[in-house]
Amino acid sequence: MTFRTRFAPSPTGPLHLGHAYSAMLAHDMARAKGGEFLLRIEDIDQSRARPEWEALIKEDLAWLGLAWDGPVMRQSDRMAAYDAALDTLWAHGLLYPCTCSRRDIAQAMSAPQEGAAPALGPDGPVYPGTCRNLRPAPGSPRPKDQHLRLDMKAALAALSGTIIFEETGPSHLGRHAPDAGQFLTRIGDVVLARRDFSTSYHLSVVIDDAAQGITHVLRGEDLFEATPIHVLLQALLGLPTPVYHHHRLIRDDAGKRLAKRDDARAIRSYRAAGLSAEDIRALVDL
Ligand code: GLU
C-alpha cells in the first residue's frame, strides 16, 4: 500500500512554526517512503474560515518548498458526505439531539451527585447525559438544527470487535486498545454535528481521511486523546483505520504551545524578516 499522509490546516489564521513543523514532517515522511503528501483545508466553521487565510497557507507551503500531491480537498465542499454519515448513525439509533448550552452542562455537573467528579475529555467536560433519555421516538427524522451527540453506550454495544490502533509517534508508541471504561468515563457522548455547521471536527476528519485514502495520519500530540473517537467512528461507519503518528508540539520561549494569534511566529513574519525555508527547519530542529 502506498504511504499517504496529509496536512489539514484550518484557514482561521496564519500558519505558525508549529503548523510548518507538522507540514514539513508529513511531507518529508511521504517523500522518504516514496508516498504522497495531500492537502486538506478544514473549513467547516465558516464563521471563522477566510479565503485569505487559505491563500496564505498555500503561499507559505510553497515558500517552505512543500508541494502537495493531487487536488486540494476542502471540507466545505463535503457536506453531503457528512450528512450521509449522520443519516447512517441516526438510522442505527446512535445519535440524539442535545439542546444543552455550556452553562446547562456546567450546572448539571455542579449538582450534587454520587461517585467521582466527571472527567475532562478531549472536547471539555464529559457530557453528563441530560438529553440522552429525551430523544425522539425511533424512526423520527433527524433534526438539522440541534447538536447531535453520539450515544457512546449504544455505539459500543453496536460494535462487534475491539477498538485498536497503532501509534508510531514517540510519546505514545505502540498499539492502543482503549476500553469501554475509557470511552464512557473519559470521552462520553461527544457532539458529532453542531447546530451551527451540521458536522464536527471528529466526524469530518474521519470521513475525509478515508475519502483521501490516508494511510498515516500525522498531527500534533494535542490530538492524541481524540484519536479513540476517530477509530470508533471508523468502526461504526465501516471505514479503514490509518496508522497514527502524533508529533511533539512546538512551544514558545515560555513553554506555551503556539496560538494562531502569535504573529511573531507566523511563517509570513519570518518570510518578511528575510529568513529562508532552511532557517525554519533549523528553528524547529528538523
Ligand atoms: N484542522 C486541524 C488543525 O488545524 C488538524 C486536524 C488533524 O490533523 O486531524 O489543528
Tell me, yes or no, if the two domains 1-77+251-286 and 78-246 fold the same way.
Answer: yes
Class at the top of the CATH hierarchy for domain 78-246? alpha beta
234-260 residue pLDDT tens: 999 999 999 999 999 999 888 888 877
Q: How far apart are CA 185 and CA 78, in angstroms?
A: 32
How far, CA to CA in Å, does 239 sit from each of 35, 108, 281? 21, 35, 35
According to DSSP, the β-strands at 95-98 and 147-150 are antiparallel
Cβ–ligand 1 distance for 219 under 6 Å, the answer yes
Cα 138 to ligand 1 centre (Å): 34
**pTM, full prediction:** 0.95
CA-nearest residue, atom 6 of ligand 1 = 8
82-132 residue pLDDT tens: 999 999 999 999 999 999 998 999 888 887 665 566 689 999 999 999 999
Specify the ligand 1 atom closest to the Cα of 6: 8
CA 9, 189, 176, 249: dihedral to nearest 10 degrees? Answer: 30
Q: How far apart are CA 263 and CA 27, in angstroms?
A: 24
Cα 8 to ligand 1 centre (Å): 5
* pLDDT for residue 219: 98
Residue ranges per structural domain of the chain: 1-77+251-286, 78-246
* pLDDT for residue 258: 83
Quickly list H helices, the chain.
Answer: 17-32, 51-63, 79-91, 102-110, 152-158, 180-182, 201-211, 227-237, 267-272, 277-283
Q: Which of 205, 216, 229, 230 best tests ligand 1's pocket when mutated (most atoms within 8 Å of CB)?
A: 205
Cα-Cα-Cα-Cα dihedral sign, residues 72, 68, 4, 45: negative
Q: How far apart are CA 152 and CA 164, in angstroms?
A: 17
Look up residue 75 and give its three cell numbers: 471540507
Considering the domain delimited by 1-77+251-286, tell me its CATH architecture.
Answer: 3-Layer(aba) Sandwich (3.40)
Q: Which of 44, 201, 208, 244 best tests ligand 1's pocket when mutated (most atoms within 8 Å of CB)?
A: 201
Tell me, rounded to whole angstroms, the distance of Cα 71 from its chain centroid. 21
Contact in structure between 270 and 280 (CB atoms under 8 Å): yes
Q: Which of 4, 10, 53 best tests ligand 1's pocket when mutated (most atoms within 8 Å of CB)?
A: 10
Q: Count CB-CB contacts under 10 A for residue 68.
A: 20
Cβ–ligand 1 distance for 223 under 6 Å, the answer yes
Residuewise pLDDT in 10s, the chain (286 residues):
899 999 999 999 999 999 999 999 999 999 999 999 999 999 999 999 999 999 999 999 999 999 999 999 999 999 999 999 999 999 999 999 999 998 999 888 887 665 566 689 999 999 999 999 999 998 999 999 999 999 999 999 999 889 999 999 999 999 999 999 999 999 999 999 999 999 999 999 999 999 999 999 999 999 999 999 999 999 999 999 999 999 999 998 888 888 777 788 999 999 999 999 999 999 999 9
